[in-house]
Amino acid sequence: MPGLYELANPVRFERIARPALPWLAGITFVLSALGLYYALFNSPADYQQGDSVRIMYVHVPAAWMALFCYTVVAGASAVGFIWKHPLADVAAKEAAPIGAGFTFLALVTGSLWGKPMWGAWWAWDARLTSVLILFFLYLGYISLWRAFSDKTRAARLAAILAIVGFVNIPVIKFSVDWWNSLHQPASVFRAGGPTIDASMLPALFLMAGAYMFFFATALIQSMRNELMARRCARMQAVDAQAASILVEN
Amino acid sequence: MRQDAGRRCAGSFNIGGKLTKKTRRIYLALGAFAFAAAAVGLTLSALKSSITYFYMPSEIAALASTPSKAIRLGGLVETGSIEYLSPKGGSENEALVSFSVTDGGNSIKVTYAGLLPDLFREGQGVIVQGSFVDGGSVLKADNVLAKHDENYMPKEVADALKEQGYWNETSKSD
Amino acid sequence: MSALSAIILRDLQLAFRAGGGSFQAVGFFSIVCVLFTLAVGPDIALITEIAGPVLWTGALLATLISLDQIYRADREDGSLDVIAATSEELALTAAAKAAAHWLSTGLPLILATPLLAILLNLTADAYFPLLMSLLIGTPGLSLIGSFAAALTVSLPRASLLISIIVSPLYIPILIFGAGAASAGAAGDPQFAANLKLLGAATLFAAVTAPLASAVALRSNLD
């Protein structure tokens, strides 16, 4: 019999999540449409890169989200591990595949931009390599979750891995400053203000907002799915138990 | 035998409890802190000597002998040094080209046959991969990568900056 | 300390006696190097150039396949429960297990390296930097690997999962280790910088891996 505490939070979560979802999805749609319009039609071509600069509006927010999602995974893992909060465990578990998707998107779009600009699809420099490591970390985290049938144990062990893997995040962020790499240094979140012209920032921030709301929408929906699946599994277990008692009698 | 050994070491855990739990924890924390401090110190000292994805021309000049293996050379394409050596029959980008890579101090002549990236131009940061030929005087490149800087702006803004003299070429040489 | 040395001694006895993992790891290491050389073909100059990286990768892979054994036997015969229940500092015990793994796997790999280096036609200048980088880097491999083994100890078959978990964590050690080996061979001043970063990675692993292993073991055993 699951404790009341364990049930109370998912129920409260469902009560907030269900009405919030259409709004989140709507905002995601509006921001994506606006962001794409700005990125493709309403922003200038770069003085050096020409129209290829438009790849940046897909690539840079995806890279931000790759780091942000891992931070969410590690943060939720820490909360779940320390306070044994089941909802935090579910959040960590469900944020990881979304983060892996953003990481993959950042790698692919970066590659598409790199070929015409740098002259190579891929270079083994510090930034690219550390983002690739991040992608593998996501895969390891997801695999560890899937390997255990006991969800409570899986949550604790995956949380330990997520927290240990968090050391990679500052390495990614500062790799372009510490090492003499091929990838350019940060343009927006840097000491001394952005080095991107103001006319390019609206498209970038609209896309970043769209990604952020997409993340919230996808995370909440997949958390609902996971909670529902767990409830089904519990009810089936109770059913099976009842059936076996009936058979015995 | 394994069972036996297990019992043996399990038993010995209870012996030798000279340290109390608290002092032992303090010693352990101090030890861990010393290790972590040493790790940070080593990292900082290594970063000072800068692990590089590429060498600058001055770093090559400072080496005792010209490297025999393939290296990556980074720097700016020296203004006025780009020469197309093969007849401009087909696309200009496919031509055999020679240019110098400079870091302000030293410069190294590079030859390359192949497709150049869009960003390749005078004053642009490039990373050239290849090995030295002709007794170390010329770097024969297998690969030319253009390094982009962190500045993004429309062409009009760049032109206006240049006109007003706010353009800082050296800022792009990172 | 007697408890910790008892654990190390016992693990070493198990590893070096009949059926132990040490010889298997060294054998696997040799086979990886030979297969690599055969795949490259008769280009001696190319083999010489890639000898350092191949030896580093081979040592890493041989470590990787031996990780599953760190806690497996102890878990199966129940001694892991005894060790965890009676251990005063489980993190120190985990460090001892990692040390035993290095002594029984990492050290034999390093001892085998000069012999394999002859097969790979490694240049004379490259021996010292290669062995130096292996000596500093392989303890880090054992430490990080023992953490992955602790994470998966309650699973019936884990060696593939361990590889997936541990590979991203091994990448920095491989980059700095192989980087130091080839920079040292070329007389490049980046040898020292790579070696320092390698040392930092191993020290960092020495602090975090035993603690994380202890937490993982407790989560797996309760």
- Phi, psi values for residue A186, rounded to 5°: -60, 145
Residue with tokens 């998912």: A10
Which DSSP category does B114 fall into?
A: S
Which residues of chain C are within 8 Å of residue A134 when distances are taken between CB atoms?
A: 168
Q: What is the DSSP string of B137-159?
A: TEEEEEEEEEPP-S-B-BHHHHH
Which residues of chain C are within 8 Å of residue B3 when distances are taken between CB atoms?
A: 77, 79
The fraction of chain A above a pLDDT of 70, given in percent, is 91
Q: What is the DSSP string of A8-56?
A: HHHHHHHHHHHHHHHHHHHHHHHHHHHHHHHHHTSSPPBTTTBGGGGGH
CA distance A123 to chain C (A): 14
Taking the Cβ of residue A223 and every Cβ of chain C, the question of whether any pair is shorter than 8 Å is answered with: no
- Phi, psi values for residue B52, rounded to 5°: -120, 150
Contact C94, C172 (CB under 8 A): no
Q: What is the DSSP string of C56-95?
A: HHHHHHHHHHHTTHHHHHHHHTSHHHHHHHH-S-HHHHHH
Q: Does the beta-carbon distance from C88 to B38 stay under 8 Å?
A: no
Q: Compute the average pLDDT of residues A225-236.
A: 89
Which of B120, B68, B71 is closest to B99 using CA atoms?
Answer: B120
Contact A80, A92 (CB under 8 A): yes
pLDDT interval class at C9 (50, 70, 90)? confident
Q: Compute the average pLDDT of residues C187-204.
A: 86
- Phi, psi values for residue B152, rounded to 5°: -125, 125
Mutate to test the interface with B, among C74, C93, C133, C197 (most CBs of B within 10 A): C197
Q: Does the beta-carbon distance from B45 to C196 stay under 8 Å?
A: yes
Contact C75, B6 (CB under 8 A): no
Q: And the tokens for B137?
A: 């005087």
Indicate the burial class of B131 (C-beta count within 10 angstroms; 0-12, 13-18, 19 or more): middle
CA distance C198 to chain B (A): 9
CB < 8 Å from A in window 38-77 of B: 47, 50-54, 74
Contact C209, C216 (CB under 8 A): no
Which of C194, C189, C150, C148 is closest to C172 using CA atoms?
Answer: C194
Name the helix (H) or strand (E) containing C53: helix C44-66
Contact A65, A58 (CB under 8 A): no
From first to last of its 174 residues, chain B has per-residue pLDDT tens of: 444 444 444 444 444 456 677 888 888 888 888 888 888 888 888 777 656 667 888 877 777 677 777 778 888 888 888 887 765 544 554 558 888 888 877 888 888 887 777 778 787 788 888 888 777 778 888 888 887 777 777 776 677 666 666 555 444 333
d(CA C44, CA C71): 41
d(CA A118, CA B124): 11
The ipTM, to two decimals, is 0.85
Residue C170: per-residue pLDDT? 92
Which residues of chain A are within 8 Å of residue B118 when distances are taken between CB atoms?
A: 49-50, 52, 116-117
Residue A168 has pLDDT above 70, yes or no: yes
What does the pLDDT look like over C68-125, one tens digit per residue? 888 888 888 888 888 888 888 888 899 999 999 999 999 999 999 999 998 888 888 8
Residue B165: per-residue pLDDT? 63
Residue A5 has pLDDT above 60, yes or no: no
- If one counts every other C-beta atom within 10 angstroms of the C-beta of residue C15, the result is 22
Q: And the tokens for A106?
A: 């950042």
CA distance B110 to chain A (A): 17
Q: Compute the average pLDDT of residues A59-82.
A: 92
Residue A194 has pLDDT above 80, yes or no: no
Which residues of chain B are within 8 Å of residue A200 when distances are taken between CB atoms?
A: 152-154
Q: Does the beta-carbon distance from A116 to B117 stay under 8 Å?
A: yes
Question: What separation in angstroms does the CA of A2 have from each of A6, A238, C213, C220?
Answer: 7, 11, 29, 21
d(CA A40, CA A45): 10
Mutate to test the interface with B, among C82, C202, C211 (most CBs of B within 10 A): C82
Residue of B nearest to A115 (CA): B117
Out of C165, C208, C219, the one facing A156 most closely (by C-beta) is C219
Which residues of chain C are within 8 Å of residue B49 when distances are taken between CB atoms?
A: 189-190, 192-193
What does the pLDDT look like over C142-191, one tens digit per residue? 999 999 999 999 888 888 999 999 999 998 899 889 988 888 887 777 78
Would you mind telling me the total number of residues written for chain C in this entry? 222
